Structure 1
Amino acid sequence: MSTASESPYVEGVHLQRTDENVREIAALAAVLGEPTGLDGLLGDLKYAVRPARVVPRLLGRAVREAYRWDAYDERDELWYPQGISTSADASDTEAFLTRAGDGRRVVVTTWYSTGKDGIKRGSRVSFVDLDSGRYRHVLLVSPVFDKAGNLTLKPMSIHAGGIVWAGPYLHIAATSRGFVTARVDDIMRVPGDDDHPERFGLEGSTLYSFGHRYVLPVRFTYQAHADEGHEKLRYSFMSLDRRSDPPALVAGEYAVDPDATTRLARYPLDPQTWQLASGDDGFSRPLAIDEGGVRQMQGAVIAGGRYHVTVSHGPWMPGTVFTGQPGAMREKRWALPMGPEDLSYWPSTDRIWSLTEHPRRRWIVSMDRTWFD
């Protein structure tokens, strides 16, 4: 499949949304109490995020602002940061402004559990208030009823390589599964669980959440499918393109194997609901698919009318950004710190945000987009 030009949608791959977990989330709220939502969480941030001690551009030639996690999260080998989005992706909606306050700069990131201690904890999101310098982790959970009709919880075991904060929703990449969607209004507080990082699940009326004070249940999944004769798209990372009409969700594939695809796809979003547009058959198809991605892409975002793509060179070498159109991207080496991941664009400041994953070399950074011109 070459650069897509079919109108209005491209055949070959599609997504199909599952039923919404309305009953399951209501049952979880019956155990934990009414959700605190985003407002309650932002009023209870715990950990300190610190400005980098070095001059930001020494971390990468394009870097203009840099933050470090709390000392424990900075070196933690059980959780690895992956995806990033910001309040700029959500702030055009009146509902968000009501919750988060005028001009509040909030970054949301994803982490996946490595299971290095023998316990797979799934995935989580972290809300970082850059202005107060505080943040808090929220565990992603999947509430389900067992055969007897009892509510049970499962960790959200996905790599979470990218995230899009669109209106009140978080769309989180789930690789070959597609992506999962949660709603920030559903954030719930867990009483007294900070001291049990190894325990998870419901025991009577008590919930254990791997030591997380807050949980966020997933509402539904956009399941990845492929038409006959086509290869299913891998949703390795994601970003939001608000400048297109309609707004678009950008997704791409990470690949090391030279025979694996490195496609970039754009799906139209309904600006009223911030869900994917779908046809009469219930399928959501991309507006475009391009095969001109870059090997080992970790993140991609459209800014200034062109793609910006991160590539990591491991834990010791600075990261690279490729810019341009698919199939004709220019390489900008030493642009980022080592281990760069997902990307997000903040239009009003013309900054591109990213984060890095390796223990003791973890930063949240913003880059000057004009540096890539």
Structure 2
Amino acid sequence: MKTPHDRRGPRRAARLLALALALVAGALLWRPGQAAAAPARPRSAAVRVTTARVASTVDNGFGLAATDLSERVADLTASLPTQGVQNLLSQADRSVSSGTACATDPFGAGDGGIAPLAPAVKYCWSDDDALSREWTPQGITGVSDAQADEYWGTKRPVITSWYDDSTACTPAGTPACADKGVRLSFLDPVTGKYRHVLLAYPYYNSYGHISYRAIDIHAGGIAWYKYRLYVTDALHGLKVFDLRDILDLDPDRNPATNNSTPDGLSSNVQDNGKVGRQSNVWYSYGYRYVLPQVGSYDFVGAQHNGSAGTCESSGAPKASYLSVDRSSSPPQLIMGEYCTTDSAHPGNGRVGALPINDTDGSLVATADGLVSAVTTYALPVKQVQGAVRYADRWYLNQSHRYSDASLWRAAVGGDGVLAVTGGEIRTAVGAEDMYYEHGQGTGAAPLLWSQSEHRADINDPSCATPDPTPCGRVIYAHRVSDILTQP
């Protein structure tokens, strides 16, 4: 659910109005390259910022300014070995289950007899992930967002995000229960294998050495385009990662021994209570792979939203979920808000479409150096956890806590308003972010993916009955044709 947005610390005041003068022409100018490896990066001058510009130039609230961290990432990739997505998947160490082995049933009729729409594809995570009290799944994207041919080399990955609720970790207060921030799961649906990757923020420590730390955000939405992975940072905007920069802290595949690193130090994947460079050893909370942040797009408008689930109608929005619309030309990044309502805040939230540079996957800036939404709409329903647009059709996931979520179809009417079309379709309990697999590159039927967040043993009566429990974490997809034929 999106309600924990603001357990995260407030952003620094300097980032509220920060504009990157060195990026006025384009915003995060990174090169395309080969999928399997991270090419060497030229070192660039540090990005300078100014507070001279004001947010009044952005009239829809969706204005964002770019920040570049590529010099720091270049120092990290010079210090540690890197790994490509294909190799990561080939060496995946965890397995999903499917079919009868995937007994978890968040599509059960646990809300008065409503029969939710059954998915065409359903996977269950391994038990420790499915029942984890520390990690909660949220965002989802895949190679159909990233590539028109829907292949990453020979693989067709799906990626999900999880945030760490360290307060639910046991035993609390131990190093193993440190807040590890956000991790990704790279899943190969063909083999059923997946691997976790820890996200990290690069910085220079007090000795001037490059290091990294956990990124403490909710990560409610993710979207993959070219080499860039966009991750929502609820009240701040978007964090950006380059999938050529996956750091490998255990290349010899022997966790019991430390690895020598290119910078003459060593790496340790046994200690799950430490992260970054400490006493000349690299740590990663026990994860083999670490993906450092290479930049961000930060809201420049005033942020009036707070820790409550309600949303303000003006100023910067919340960044709650993401998707890619490949049917538009150029493609667009769909970003929207999760909002509850009350008498003082009747609005359901906003959704906007940000233009993507189809050459390198960066966001397109206007003449003033800002990125802004091409179109924005008020959402027709509240508590939206995910939104996808394809061929002018909108699909919205609306959550109802521990009851089946509602999948809505919507369209822009002649009055320019986003409105529901067709009836309510009940789906999984705890449905989250969404991903559209268009099937154009493979000839397969288009699929609409999502995932559910609640562990099956959660301490709530709604999840305890009936048998099987209506809760449980699954990654699933409906055929778009099945959705469109519903009343």
TM-score by length of 2: 0.69
CA shift, 1:22, in A, is: 2.4
Is the contact between residue 277 and residue 284 of structure 1 (CA under 8 Å) also seen in structure 2? yes
For 1:224, give the aligned amino acid.
Answer: F
Partner of residue 44, structure 1: 91
Partner of residue 381, structure 2: 294
2:253 matches 1:197: no
Is the contact between residue 175 and residue 236 of structure 1 (CA under 8 Å) also seen in structure 2? yes
Structure 2 unmatched ranges of 5 or more? 1-57, 109-115, 256-267, 304-312, 412-416, 440-444, 457-471
For 2:62, give the aligned amino acid.
Answer: V
Partner of residue 109, structure 1: 160
CA shift, 1:305, in A, is: 2.3
Partner of residue 143, structure 2: 87
The size of the alignment, in residue pairs, is: 357
Partner of residue 17, structure 1: 66
Partner of residue 483, structure 2: 372
The secondary structure found in structure 2 opposite 1:13 is coil
For 2:316, give the aligned amino acid.
Answer: K
Distance 1:278 1:252 in 2: 19
Partner of residue 178, structure 1: 237
The secondary structure found in structure 2 opposite 1:318 is strand
- Which sits farther off after the overlay, 280-289 or 22-31? 22-31
Distance 1:313 1:76 in 2: 22
Tell me the percent identity.
28
Q: Cα deviation per residue 1:194-216 (whole Å; 9 max; x = unaligned)?
A: 43222222113322211211000
For 2:434, give the aligned amino acid.
Answer: L
2:473 matches 1:362: yes
Distance 2:226 2:432 in 1: 23
Relative to structure 1, the CA distance from residue 257 to residue 152 in structure 2 (aligned partners, 3 Å threshold; closer, same or farther) is farther
Relative to structure 1, the CA distance from residue 282 to residue 347 in structure 2 (aligned partners, 3 Å threshold; closer, same or farther) is same
2:316 matches 1:232: yes
The secondary structure found in structure 2 opposite 1:310 is strand
Is the contact between residue 10 and residue 285 of structure 1 (CA under 8 Å) also seen in structure 2? no
Is the contact between residue 136 and residue 164 of structure 2 (CA under 8 Å) also seen in structure 1? yes
Distance 2:422 2:407 in 1: 6
Equivalent position to 1:156, from 215, 221, 229: 215
Partner of residue 5, structure 1: none
The secondary structure found in structure 2 opposite 1:153 is strand
CA shift, 1:313, in A, is: 1.7
Distance 2:122 2:166 in 1: 28
Distance 2:199 2:280 in 1: 19
Is the contact between residue 90 and residue 167 of structure 1 (CA under 8 Å) also seen in structure 2? yes
Q: Cα deviation per residue 1:202-261 (whole Å; 9 max; x = unaligned)?
A: 113322211211000010010012279941111100000000011000000001133155
Partner of residue 135, structure 1: 194
2:153 matches 1:100: yes
Distance 2:132 2:142 in 1: 23
Partner of residue 132, structure 2: 76
Distance 1:146 1:271 in 2: 36
2:396 matches 1:309: yes
Distance 2:391 2:148 in 1: 19
Is the contact between residue 340 and residue 348 of structure 2 (CA under 8 Å) also seen in structure 1? no
Equivalent position to 1:323, from 409, 416, 427: 409
Structure 1 or 2: more strand by fraction: 1
- Which sits farther off after the overlay, 79-88 or 49-58? 49-58
CA shift, 1:342, in A, is: 0.3
For 2:352, give the aligned amino acid.
Answer: A
Structure 1 unmatched ranges of 5 or more? 1-8
Distance 2:61 2:233 in 1: 19
Distance 2:380 2:245 in 1: 35
Distance 1:308 1:45 in 2: 32
Bigger-Rg structure (1/2):
2
The secondary structure found in structure 2 opposite 1:344 is strand
Partner of residue 290, structure 2: 215
Q: Cα deviation per residue 1:48-79 (whole Å; 9 max; x = unaligned)?
A: 01114269995541511100001110100101
For 1:323, give the aligned amino acid.
Answer: R
Distance 1:290 1:85 in 2: 22
CA shift, 1:123, in A, is: 0.6
CA shift, 1:333, in A, is: 4.6
- Which sits farther off after the overlay, 319-328 or 275-284? 319-328
CA shift, 1:105, in A, is: 2.5
Q: Cα deviation per residue 1:137-168 (whole Å; 9 max; x = unaligned)?
A: 00000111135422231211111101111011
Relative to structure 1, the CA distance from residue 139 to residue 92 in structure 2 (aligned partners, 3 Å threshold; closer, same or farther) is same
Equivalent position to 1:251, from 315, 335, 342: 335
Is the contact between residue 145 and residue 437 of structure 2 (CA under 8 Å) also seen in structure 1? yes
Partner of residue 4, structure 1: none
- Which sits farther off after the overlay, 132-141 or 56-65? 56-65
Is the contact between residue 177 and residue 223 of structure 1 (CA under 8 Å) also seen in structure 2? yes
For 1:356, give the aligned amino acid.
Answer: S
Is the contact between residue 60 and residue 376 of structure 2 (CA under 8 Å) also seen in structure 1? no
CA shift, 1:304, in A, is: 4.4
Partner of residue 353, structure 1: 449
Partner of residue 30, structure 1: 78
The secondary structure found in structure 2 opposite 1:23 is helix
Q: What is the CA RMSD across the aligned residues, in angstroms?
A: 2.3
Is the contact between residue 265 and residue 286 of structure 1 (CA under 8 Å) also seen in structure 2? yes
CA shift, 1:27, in A, is: 2.2
TM-score by length of 1: 0.89
The secondary structure found in structure 1 opposite 2:86 is helix
Distance 1:323 1:334 in 2: 9
CA shift, 1:330, in A, is: 4.5
- Which sits farther off after the overlay, 325-334 or 281-290? 325-334
Distance 1:72 1:232 in 2: 38
